[in-house]
């Protein structure tokens, strides 16, 4: 009886083993998986989206959508402000898929990631590479110049910013981007034409008439206050010296000199 049980049990094990050998786990359907990952991305569920795009790459490494999956992973990190991780995946598109139609969009995203971190020279470097590429997309060139203009603004290179904005406006004068570029160029130019005051002259006249330098610089009430305070100390100082109260005069001088030199500095 035990022998029969052993024989039946062994037969079952053998059948299960044979079935397992002939059975292969099917990879998820390519279209359904990329659509699911895309849906997560559109719903701003970036961490799950990253997982699903990576899963897609694992199961479909021969797919012609691998560059798109890398791009979306980079975009997911970008939207989470994880810019180093974002650039790592954008670079993979750039290096591993040099013929990808996404290579220019990827370059723009790398530039924008540097811009978000206030790394303006790195941003301009990426944008300049776009402008030197064999690029037929006119709009992408304009966006690159527009972003370069903003980099120059933040770097306070006013005239370089004006040049970039003018170029965008000249090429697309009737578009929203062209009109906005013209406004930015005009505003920047008007800012560079603000009349300037001479710090040396302001410093000089403040030594002789405390507060006059601040009034000259356009700070009327600050200058008037400085005149009153310093005038009071001068009166108390000379009054003490006249009455031969030299200890008082020394104390007034020590305190008043701070206000006097502060006036010159301001």
Phi first, then psi: what are they for 157, rounded to 5°? -95, 80
Tens of pLDDT, residues 60-70? 888 899 999 99
Of 42, 105, 31, the closest CA to residue 70 belongs to: 105
Give the mean pLDDT of 219-236. 82
State the angle between helix axes of 158-171 and 138-154 in degrees (0 to 180), rounded to the nearest 10.
Answer: 160
Mean pLDDT, rounded, of the chain: 82
Q: Is residue 182 a contact partner of residue 173, using CB atoms and an 8 Å limit?
A: yes
Query: How open is the CA angle 57-59-65, to the nearest 5 degrees?
Result: 40
Tokens representing residue 257 in the block? 């000199």
Query: What distances in angstroms separate CA 60 from CA 50, 64, 136, 263, one per listed residue?
Result: 15, 9, 31, 73
- What is the pLDDT, as a whole number, of residue 2? 45
Tens of pLDDT, residues 170-215? 988 888 888 888 888 888 887 766 566 788 888 888 888 888 888 8
d(CA 231, CA 247): 20
Tokens representing residue 58 in the block? 């694992």
- What is the pLDDT, as a whole number, of residue 67? 93
- Mapping DSSP to helix (H, G, I), strand (E, B) and coil, where does residue 182 land? helix
d(CA 67, CA 86): 14
Q: For residue 149, what are the contacts with CB-CB under 8 A and spacing of at least 6?
A: 161, 164, 165, 168, 181, 184, 185
pLDDT at 8 over 50: no
Tens of pLDDT, residues 156-167? 888 888 999 999
């Amino acid at each position: 009886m035990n022998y029969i049980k052993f024989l039946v049990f062994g037969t079952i094990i053998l059948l299960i083993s044979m079935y397992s050998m002939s059975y292969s786990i099917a990879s998820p359907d390519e279209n359904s998986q990329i659509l699911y990952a895309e849906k997560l991305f559109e719903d701003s569920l970036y961490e799950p989206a990253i997982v699903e795009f990576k899963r897609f790459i694992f199961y479909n490494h021969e797919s012609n959508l691998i560059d798109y999956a890398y791009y979306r992973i980079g975009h997911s990190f970008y939207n989470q402000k994880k810019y180093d991780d974002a650039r790592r995946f954008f670079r993979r598109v750039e290096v591993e898929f040099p013929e990808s139609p996404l290579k220019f969009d990827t370059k723009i995203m790398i530039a924008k990631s540097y811009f978000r971190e206030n790394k303006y020279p790195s941003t301009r470097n990426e944008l300049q590479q776009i402008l030197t590429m064999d690029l037929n997309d006119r709009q992408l060139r304009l966006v690159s110049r527009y972003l370069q203009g903003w980099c120059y603004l933040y770097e306070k290179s006013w005239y370089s910013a004006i040049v970039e904005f003018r170029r965008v406006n000249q090429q697309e004068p009737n578009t929203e981007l062209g009109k906005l570029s013209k406004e930015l160029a005009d505003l920047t130019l008007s800012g560079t034409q603000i009349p300037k005051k001479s710090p040396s002259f302001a410093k000089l006249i403040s030594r002789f008439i405390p507060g006059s330098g601040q009034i000259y610089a356009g700070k009327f009430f600050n200058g008037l206050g400085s005149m009153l305070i310093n005038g009071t100390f001068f009166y108390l100082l000379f009054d003490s010296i006249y009455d031969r109260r030299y200890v008082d005069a020394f104390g007034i001088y020590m305190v008043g000199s701070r206000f006097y030199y502060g006036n010159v500095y301001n």
